[in-house]
Amino acid sequence: RVLRDGSWEEVPAEYIVPDDIVKLKLGDVVPADGELIQGHLIVDESALTGESLPVDKNPGDKVFAGSSVLRGEAVVKVTATGLSTRYGKTVELVQVSKPRLIIEEITSSITKGLLVADIFFIALVAAKLVLSRTSILDLLPFTLTLLIASIPIALPAMTTITLALGSLELARAGVIVRRLEAIEAGSMMDVICLDKTGTITENKISVKEVIPLTEDYSEKDILFYALLASEEDAKDPIDRAVIEKASEEGVSKDGVDLVEFKPFSPETKRTEALVKIGGVPVRAVKGAPQVLAEMDGSLDKQGYEDIIREIGERGERPLGVGVEKGGVFRVIGLLGLYDKPREDSPSFINDIKEMGVKPIMITGDNYYVARSIARMVGIDGKVISLKGMPKEEIRSLIDSVGVFAETVPEEKHDIVVALQEKGHVVGMTGDGVNDAPALKRADLGVAVSNATDIAKLSGSVVLTRPGLRNIVDIIHLGRRVYRRIVVWSLNKIVKTFQIVYFVAISTLLLGLPVLSPTHMILMLFLYDFVTLSISTDNLRPSKKPERWNLWKLVKISVVLGLIKIVELFVALYIALDYLALPFDQVRTFVFYVLLLSGLFNILNFRETNWFWASRPSLPVALSISVDTIVGSILVYGGWIIPSIPLSAILLGFIYSVSVTLLLTDVAKLFVFRVFGAV
């Protein structure tokens, strides 16, 4: 309701403008930022700030668009609307923020590197053939086919298929993947920023402890009187917490007759119930500790304040409980309220630390609440408050801090950016509007099951089940997917050595192409068909975050590629001298050995140990078997390429198996020992 021309009118929220006077009441969602000018409110700002406990609002206090009114009525003057509100600025930051696309950078680097290196050799071959007066009609198809062979054509398809299959596997586990690159980011993530409210915790207020202030009343007595001052069907989260705790302790209202109940009011800051117990009138009160202290003239105020401070330092919110009998009111105890951690949070934190991922908690709650929850779930590192801290200081502190408290949405985003600038691959979990910019910016943005719509739209994955256990599944699968892409890349670079460099060098030495364009196109078709099956392989995930190390990948590939070139020259010698085949059949023999060598390399390079240390997936095993059979039939039948004798086929098969699965496997283990496994 908006005050227009001296009267209150119902106006759609989009037509509210600055300086409008708006009336808010129980159940309303605040439509714009504003300042309270009359009345009192209790509002839920958890979606905006991350604070799980309701916030009192009095005249002069700010209210923010997107928060909801839990209690009270008030008149508010609008100060900002649309994108100028805190909510709007958060949405704008989401639109501006963009995630890094790591896998695109890597695949682009591999493609460019191969192309540049291959063009040099292709140019030499072209020059040699021109000098030997080769016809342009023969030269052009050969050089163009060699150029095509040097480009990793199947890399984009293989990457997409691998990530898509991974997303299907995660969907079965309860994870919706919105951006495919999130799976690959999960493999390299070494830091994960965890929102507290609704992510690590349940976003549900619970009674953690009951503290009697006098020997006359036990913990159950205090719970009993707190229960009397609570509404059974109330929406108030504190009432629900008291009722739940009383039920756990076996405390009930049996034998109590309710005379009058006064619900919580922002003005009085307490709840009262007048009841009769055995015919004797009793007044039970619960509310703000300071308010109840003013009602008890015999209370030790200093000791009372000390206990309240200690409760606050333990990360709890104190709630006073009092009782009036015979006209005498006494404060009898305090309840410590907190947002309880999820049951699986400690085990999840322990699991990701064992996987080499550092957890950092980010919350809008105060220092003491943040420290308390961090200790409960096992998050290490310093606990610091960002309240009043300059943005420039965040980057210098980032590596030593385990918990950031009293943050605003912009600072959550800044923390993610600072970690990325330090070279970390960053994950971020969250559920509220305040988490959306950081979720969008993070390499892996995880919106939890109870997240707001804007958080789900900003995240790269969405959990459909409560808790954080599915993040472990994302990490495991991501690392397996990473291994598949690395194995494909290693095979492709080595295969480029085998086709482009071997063909180029042998052509320079012999003066004739050792493979025809037909051989090379057939090779690419048969080989790329099999390498796509790597996207399904049963590769063992790493125990620590993965890192793309292109330089190491290139060094290992070059060494193994040179070894394969030597093996192929031995095969060429066997065809020319030992078997004394005609040159057309020499080409077919070399084609056959090249094909088998590439297929068996897949079995080799998929393992960092001996090739038999683990079984390949069924699609990989079947595709290699089928390709081997098809290749053998082609070289024997001679339908597309010249045929070779059965004895030559048998010799080529035995040579390829013995050299690739034995000698190359030994060489692989030596290279991995020198440079480290990829």
Measure the CA–CA gap between 636 and 591, rounded to whole angstroms: 12
Q: Which two tokens stand for residue 393?
A: 């200081």
Nearest to 419 by CA among 437, 389, 443: 443
Buried b vs exposed e over 114-144: b needs ≥16 C-beta within 10 Å? Answer: beebbeebbeebbebbeeeebeeeebebbbe
CA 71-364-455 angle, 5° bins: 85
Instruction: List, in sequence order, every residue forming a beta bridge with 285; answer none if it has no partner.
Output: 272, 322
Please answer whether residues 345 and 168 qualify as being in contact, where contact means their C-beta atoms are separated by less than 8 angstroms.
no
In the residue annotation, 195 being an active-site residue is answered as yes
Catalytically annotated residue among 33, 118, 195, 665: 195
Measure the CA–CA gap between 384 and 396, rounded to whole angstroms: 13
Report CA-CA distances (Å) from 291 to 281, 302, 321, 333, 397. Answer: 22, 15, 11, 14, 40
Q: Which two tokens stand for residue 155?
A: 């890399």
Q: For 635-664, give the DSSP string.
A: HHH-SSS----HHHHHHHHHHHHHIIIIIH
Measure the CA–CA gap between 220 and 659, rounded to whole angstroms: 79
Residue whose structure tokens are 């958060």: 90
Q: Which two tokens stand for residue 256?
A: 């109590």
User: How are the residues of the chain apportioned to helix, strand and coil, as percentages rounded to the nearest 5?
Assistant: 55, 20, 25
Nearest to 403 by CA among 425, 427, 379: 379
Please name the residues in contact with 664: beta carbons below 8 A apart, sequence gap of 6 or more. Answer: 560, 563, 564, 567, 600, 601, 604
Measure the CA–CA gap between 177 and 246, rounded to whole angstroms: 41
Pure H helices in 99-236: 102-131, 136-150, 154-172, 181-188, 219-228
Between the two ends of the chain, the Cα-to-Cα distance in Å is: 64
Measure the CA–CA gap between 534 and 554, rounded to whole angstroms: 20
Backbone angles phi, psi at 463, to 5 degrees: -85, 135
Measure the CA–CA gap between 101 and 312, rounded to whole angstroms: 43
Q: Strand (E) positions, 345-447?
A: 358-362, 382-385, 401-405, 426-430, 444-447
**Interstrand relation of 33-44 and 55-57 (parallel, antiparallel or unpaired):** antiparallel
Measure the CA–CA gap between 88 and 249, rounded to whole angstroms: 45
Report CA-CA distances (Å) from 193 to 235, 402, 493, 542, 606. Answer: 31, 9, 36, 21, 33
Nearest to 599 by CA among 580, 625, 578, 575: 625
Residues that are catalytic: 195
